[in-house]
């Protein structure tokens, strides 16, 4: 949908802006219809790797499918996920299942919404997360919809991850 594309463009623009200061990165630009690229190119010696970055998926399986198709069209060698696979949207199991099946997912970390699943969700109100009671109820509802394999996948994600590359 156009609202998914608009939100996606904002996220990608933010990622691109933050990463511009890193060495050895190029952000390819498309035509007018592709103002922001959801990947970067890392130069390693004479070789280049296309790395797709996804984040804040928040149970939005439709947007995830859209961006994965785009990354595939751009021949990304690997995908890095910066967390928040679950939370907010209506399709937790479908979204996690898609992530579990990614063959080129090279790194993925837990976001705060994954930590809610594993006992770090506020139980009192007000709280430091600024979560209200109804939002907590929604998170409990979405957690009940996750299959055991999806919970296991999310439980194995680290809270942080260092990625090293030669070159």
Quick one: average pLDDT of 113-134?
94
The three state secondary structure string of 60-121 is CHHHHHHHHHHHHHCCCCEEEECCCCCCCCCCHHHHHHHHHCCCCEEEECCCHHHHHHHHHC
Confidence (pTM): 0.75
Dihedral sign for Cα 98, 51, 82, 118, please: positive
| pLDDT tier at 137, thresholds 50, 70, 90 | very high
Residue 163 to residue 166: CA distance in whole angstroms: 10
pLDDT beyond 80 at 107: yes
- For residue 42, CA distances in Å to 8, 36, 39, 46, 120 come to 22, 17, 10, 10, 35
54-85: per-residue pLDDT in tens? 999 999 999 999 999 999 998 999 999 999 99
CA distance 157 to 80: 12
> What is the pLDDT at residue 60?
95
CA neighbours closer than 13 Å in the CB half-sphere of residue 93? 9
Residue pLDDT, tens place only, 21-57: 443 444 444 332 333 445 666 665 667 888 999 999 9
């Amino acid at each position: 949908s156009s609202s998914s594309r608009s939100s996606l463009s904002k996220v990608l623009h933010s990622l691109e802006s933050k990463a511009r200061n890193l060495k050895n990165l190029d952000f390819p630009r498309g035509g007018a219809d592709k103002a922001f690229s959801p990947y970067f190119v890392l130069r390693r010696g004479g070789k280049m790797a296309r790395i797709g970055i996804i984040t804040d998926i928040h149970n939005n399986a439709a947007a995830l499918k859209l961006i994965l198709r785009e990354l595939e069209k751009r021949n990304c060698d690997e995908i890095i996920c910066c967390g928040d696979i679950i939370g907010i949207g209506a399709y937790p199991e479908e979204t996690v299942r898609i992530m579990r099946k990614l063959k080129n997912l090279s790194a993925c970390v837990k976001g705060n919404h994954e930590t809610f699943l594993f006992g770090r969700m506020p139980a009192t109100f007000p709280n430091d997360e600024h979560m209200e009671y109804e939002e907590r109820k929604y998170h409990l509802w979405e957690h009940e919809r996750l299959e055991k394999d999806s919970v296991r996948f999310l439980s194995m994600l680290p809270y942080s991850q260092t990625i090293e590359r030669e070159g």
